[in-house]
Structure 1
């Protein structure tokens, strides 16, 4: 059966299949592509007519790809990645020596690491053109696999399923109890969890991986907050810490700048060690721009390690 796919399939068809496989929902896929849901449904119907069969099974909570859908989605993602690479190559040819990199950043690295990396970049790295996309792990990993971004920077979590990505451990993100530099707790000669519980505690949002790490850590020292504020906003958490007598259990690197300026300080209470590996994720070999970014990140991590904000990982 000849389908003449090279003549009939269009890029918009590939983008719809890729979005549906990623989001598993007609509504979320249409929002991601910024098209109406009826328009997306019509495009899906066109593709199914072209390939000669249904690609997705409908169910009450969305859609799931069948065997043919998985095959088409995989090939669509590869083709879209190739097209994006061609666009990057054309940009590089047009701009001569100009180099660019698209960086996906998890929240902790987005607020605590990358700004310092860019601020301290040497003259060569300063000529890089950066596109920075902040997101969660479940958002950035598919974008990296599809070629929408070039690298991901931040906490490294084991993949739920095997993939072809390289996860390079560069450092560890220790969690500490942190408060404003002039917080009354710093006036005490000794500090116990009971002392800390007298103050409201700021915690990461429920159901995030950081929240689970923080909860496990607090449980080991039997610190059960009587009053807590949970938030997914790093800016809001930081503003609370700076403006009142709050305490927060967060990775030190999240507020690296404030720790360096001594506006925030780490409370002197012993916490059990725990490895929280972080670093860079990429697909295939790093580009010249990716290698340059890696070098700049390593340099900034070395500066942060001197202040005990991060722990450098053993070279792997």
Structure 2
């Protein structure tokens, strides 16, 4: 395990909140998960960073030293990514995103609506980090997402506006036995090997596991990978995975609804209350919904699912 920027953010969040419980809520992690992560960080750095206090935790002497370095490093990293840019001849609109199907349509509209501006995009694996960047005015807009019971925490200076909520579908190789079904069940999926992304601050993995546990089932995870590697393993028939209902259809890939729709994902827009896009926020939300509706036709399964619901 190597020290990463996200580990420094974890240490700072614990110090700022003075409590593992409060820090876990801010980071959208479970407290046991945060505790385990802190122990791994401490092992890697070679010493305890926090000690128990009367109402939470406080940094040790070694922890204070690490915090001084972390607080010096993190702003520099953010400046490197968002602040140190060549002098712009035009206004810049910085858009952040997770894996959002509506992004391309929204950016296309923003480009047309703001010909005087330079629209740029960055991606992050977890929505929490994007909301933090909106709060710090390092992004003008972000396309984020969350799941039932694991909603993004409210921040006074950030508006979180829902755009669309969609079911989570299963995906598998075309030759998989479940691919012949019009829909699959959680029980059938639980009997398969799983290919899933590693746990992250977005807590989507925790949400999936919670839903399966509530049904008396468990996900038999065999491969923890993400991005193109995850898709390659699914296409190779090495297991099943989950995807947004708006996921793009690829040759050899089959996307199927899950019976009774037990899993959901919500798309939201985030902007600063005092940001430059506030005045046109209502129109941006409508354009985002239009872009989402266009993206809902990227595979055959979702339009069919929507048609059944409308009939």
TM-score of the two chains, using structure 2 as the length reference: 0.57
Q: Which residue of 1 aligns with 2:248?
A: 257
Please tell me whether the aligned partners of residues 140 and 277 of structure 2 are also in contact (alpha carbons under 8 angstroms).
no
The one of 151, 156, 176 equivalent to 2:169 is 176
Greater helix proportion: 1
User: 1:51-90 counterparts in 2 under 5 A?
Assistant: 59-62=61-64
Q: Which has the larger radius of gyration?
A: 1
Q: Which residue of 1 aligns with 2:230?
A: 237
Q: CA deviation at 1:115?
A: 4.0
Q: CA deviation at 1:193?
A: 4.5
Unpaired segments ≥5 residues, structure 1: 1-19, 26-56, 66-76, 312-316
Moved more, 233-242 or 287-296: 287-296
Unpaired segments ≥5 residues, structure 2: 1-7, 14-58, 68-74, 307-311
Please tell me whether the aligned partners of residues 169 and 257 of structure 2 are also in contact (alpha carbons under 8 angstroms).
no
User: 1:36-55 counterparts in 2 under 5 A?
Assistant: none
Moved more, 236-245 or 192-201: 192-201
Q: CA deviation at 1:277?
A: 2.8
Separation of aligned partners in 2, 1:299 and 1:212: 30
The one of 149, 154, 173 equivalent to 2:139 is 149
Please tell me whether the aligned partners of residues 24 and 64 of structure 1 are also in contact (alpha carbons under 8 angstroms).
no
Separation of aligned partners in 2, 1:161 and 1:304: 28
Moved more, 288-297 or 139-148: 288-297
The one of 85, 96, 99 equivalent to 1:104 is 96
In the superposition, relative to structure 1, how do residues 196 and 167 fare at CA in structure 2: closer, same or farther (>3 Å)? Answer: closer
Please tell me whether the aligned partners of residues 154 and 280 of structure 1 are also in contact (alpha carbons under 8 angstroms).
yes
Q: Which residue of 1 aligns with 2:189?
A: 196
Separation of aligned partners in 2, 1:143 and 1:203: 27
Q: Which residue of 2 aligns with 1:215?
A: 209
Separation of aligned partners in 1, 2:120 and 2:197: 26
Q: CA deviation at 1:248?
A: 0.3
In the superposition, relative to structure 1, how do residues 252 and 61 fare at CA in structure 2: closer, same or farther (>3 Å)? Answer: farther
Q: CA deviation at 1:187?
A: 2.8
Separation of aligned partners in 1, 2:253 and 2:170: 10
In the superposition, relative to structure 1, how do residues 224 and 302 fare at CA in structure 2: closer, same or farther (>3 Å)? Answer: same
Summarize deviations over 1:56-114 as a string: whole Å, max 9, x none: x874334799xxxxxxxxxxx9xxx9xx99x99x84xx44xxx53101212x22xx442
Please tell me whether the aligned partners of residues 178 and 184 of structure 2 are also in contact (alpha carbons under 8 angstroms).
yes
Q: Which residue of 2 aligns with 1:299?
A: 290
TM-score of the two chains, using structure 1 as the length reference: 0.56
Please tell me whether the aligned partners of residues 103 and 152 of structure 1 are also in contact (alpha carbons under 8 angstroms).
yes
2:128 matched to 1:133? Answer: no
2:124 matched to 1:124? Answer: no
Please tell me whether the aligned partners of residues 21 and 64 of structure 1 are also in contact (alpha carbons under 8 angstroms).
no
